[in-house]
Amino acid sequence: MGKVIRTKVKDLLKLTPGQEVLAKGWVRTKRGNKNVAFIALNDGSTINNIQVVADVAGFDEETLKRITTGACIAVRGDLVESLGGGQSVEIQARSIEIYGEADPNTYPLQKKGHTLEFLRTIAHLRPRTNTFGAVLRIRHAMAFAIHKYFNDKGFVYLHTPIITASDCEGAGEMFQVTTLDLNNPPRLENGGIDYAQDFFGRQTSLTVSGQLEGELGAMALGEIYTFGPTFRAENSNTPRHLAEFWMIEPEMAFYEIEDNMDLAEDFIKSLVRYALENCMDDLKFLNDMFDKELIARLESVVKTEFVRLTYTEGIRILENSGEKFEFPVGWGVDLQSEHERYLVEKHFGRPVIMTDYPKDIKAFYMKQNEDGKTVRGMDVLFPKIGEIIGGSERESSLEKLEARINELGMSHETLEWYLDTRRFGSAPHSGFGLGFERLLLFVTGMGNIRDVIPFPRTPKNAEF
């Protein structure tokens, strides 16, 4: 008999019966009677299980007893047509090897229907559930689709640093990086900490965004994108905020704000389309289990033209809505998620790209409008999520940019290199940042951002 190589469950389910196969995976359930045992086996390659049928007479009783939910096994047998409903083929087992047992008294994933909250406490095991298998496969597919989208368009993937000395968003939400002894740091004469003695010879932090370095890339390579982890020490315990999240940031020379909006809209639609075309098994599962309108919503977004309106128009709609908001609205306020969702879900019933925000609620780098009050920023607002993308056309005039930096009292010293892009060969350019986990909230229909990343980092939580 020739060597049989392992076939993944996803591929087994497509094979024609009548051949010898080898499957390896984790037992989801075992049931049966005195004569026969049915084992549902999953190896993570698909949401679907392969059914293994073992005639009790052909196996040692002790072996069968050790095959319990969570155990890892290798099964050799014949792929046969399945008589039971629910699957087209199954494995008639000839031999079963047990790689690892899972004690039924202590394995936490015994029964179905654990709450998502409970599963967060066992994040090291939750990838073994159907739900997290589906979410993590979709997460992978979306990461792949993002690289494919930009590669097809000729964008260059630029790796921007994770440790940085500048605060791109200017919000002061940085995690410090230091090797100084926090119990006894070197001091300056004025009592401040002497960062000259720190590892990098200056104060450094984890990046909140790769944009500033991304702009340097765009001013040389034309069109770039970053896709990496970003960090925000923002104390928001909400279903939409993480302290460590992944962001995709395209940055393009010669794009004005309209071009930027066109790209953002096309980008998101193409990702959703990719999910519909490549992740249907997993989407169907999530649709049935958590959100009966998920697939319909995804299909509708692909077909819908996003609304485009200015902040000023948006505020007017909110003021005239007659709605009682927790946070009152008025020109100049930063929109809260309740306002964004009112516009998207109730007023327009489709995604909205909002532009031209008051300069005081946006970052220093955004292109200033003629009115002296607003900047050419754009946020893409989505149903159930609120802000999914933030971006802008960038201020390309050195003079105006420096004036804004002074106005905000920011340090020039850590930004000199950035200002060089405006000193030498400056050009109109634009970009945006898509929060990867916010995209995944939308595509999977999950309600909490902690459930679309394998190991969430949030205030007071960095386990695993």
Q: Could you list the residues that contact Mg ion (CB under 5 A)?
A: 390
Nearer to Mg ion, 46 or 211 (CB): 211
Number of residues that bind ligand 4AD (CB under 6 A): 22
Task: State the nearest-atom distance from the C-beta of 312 to ligand 4AD, in Å.
Answer: 19
358 and 326 in contact (C-beta within 8 Å)?
A: no
Q: Give the strand pairing for 244-253 and 89-100.
A: unpaired
Shortest spacing between CB 438 and Mg ion, in angstroms: 10
Least separation in angstroms between residue 240's CB and Mg ion is 12
Give Cβ neighbours of residue 134 (< 8 Å, ≥ 6 apart): 47, 282, 283, 285, 286, 444
CB-nearer residue toward ligand 4AD: 387 or 420: 387
Answer for the pair 69, 60: CB distance below 8 angstroms, yes or no. no
Please provide the size of the chain in residues.
464
Question: By C-beta, is 241 or 450 nearer to Mg ion?
Answer: 241
Rounded least distance, CB 169 to Mg ion, Å:
8
Min CB(439)–ligand 4AD separation in Å: 8
Which of residues 241, 341, 362, 429 is near ligand 4AD by CB under 6 A?
241
Residue with smaller CB distance to ligand 4AD, 67 or 301: 301
DSSP 302-352: HHPPPEEEEHHHHHHHHHTS----SSPP-TTPPPPHHHHHIIIIIIISS-E
Question: Which residue from 78, 101, 234, 258 is in contact with ligand 4AD, where contact means CB under 6 A?
Answer: 234
Residues 402-441 that bind ligand 4AD (CB under 6 A): 431-433, 435, 437-438
Point out which residues pair with 302 in neighbouring strands.
none
- Per-residue burial over 403-422, b = 16 or more CB atoms within 10 Å of its CB, e = otherwise: ebbeeeeeeeeebeebeebb
Q: 393 is in the binding site of which of Mg ion, ligand 4AD, none (Cβ under 5 to 8 A by kind)?
A: none
Shortest reach from residue 238's CB to Mg ion, in Å: 14
Structure tokens at 154: 């000729």
- Which one among 133, 351, 390, 456 touches ligand 4AD, defined by CB under 6 A? 390
Which of 26, 150, 195, 245 is the binder for ligand 4AD (CB under 6 A)?
245
Alpha carbons 445 and 439: distance in angstroms, whole number: 10
Which listed residue (27, 71, 142, 242) binds ligand 4AD by CB under 6 A?
242
Instruction: Give residues with Cβ within 8 angstroms of 429, minimum separation 6.
Output: 215, 218, 219, 251, 252, 253, 254, 255, 393, 394, 396
Closer to Mg ion by Cβ: residue 77 or 390: 390
Options 167, 169, 282, 451; binder of ligand 4AD; rule CB under 6 A: 169
> Is 223 among the residues that bind ligand 4AD (CB under 6 A)?
no
DSSP state, 191? S
Residue 158 touches ligand 4AD, criterion: CB under 6 A: no
With CB under 6 A as the contact rule, the residue among 53, 168, 174, 401 that binds ligand 4AD is: 168
Site for ligand 4AD in 42-81 (CB under 6 A): none
Shortest Å, Cβ 171 to ligand 4AD: 8
Least distance to ligand 4AD, CB of residue 231, Å: 9
Cα–Cα dist 364/423, whole Å: 17
Q: What is the dihedral of CA 418, 424, 425, 431, to 10 degrees?
A: 0
> Binding of ligand 4AD at residue 247 (CB under 6 A)?
yes
Please report, as a single letter, which amino acid is at residue 427: A
Query: DSSP string of 214-227?
Result: HHHHHHHHSEEEEE
Strand order in the sheet with 244-253: 156-157, 223-231, 244-253, 429-435, 386-393, 374-382, 352-358, 307-310
DSSP strand E in 82-128: where?
A: 89-100
445 binds, among ligand 4AD, Mg ion, none (CB under 5 to 8 A by kind): none
Confirm if 21 and 50 have CB atoms less than 8 A apart: no
Interface residue with ligand 4AD among 351, 391, 445, 456 (CB under 6 A) is: 391
What three-state secondary structure class fits 438?
helix
Nearest to 281 by CA among 10, 92, 60, 35: 10
345 contact choice in Mg ion, ligand 4AD, none (CB below 5 to 8 Å, kind-dependent): none
- Part of the chain binding ligand 4AD (CB under 6 A), chosen from 72-80, 245-253, 288-296, 350-358: 245-253
Smallest gap from residue 125 Cβ to ligand 4AD (A): 24
CA atoms within 13 A on the CB side of 3: 2
Please report, as ranges, the residues that interact with ligand 4AD according to CB under 6 A.
168-169, 209, 211, 232, 234, 241-242, 245, 247, 249, 387-391, 431-433, 435, 437-438
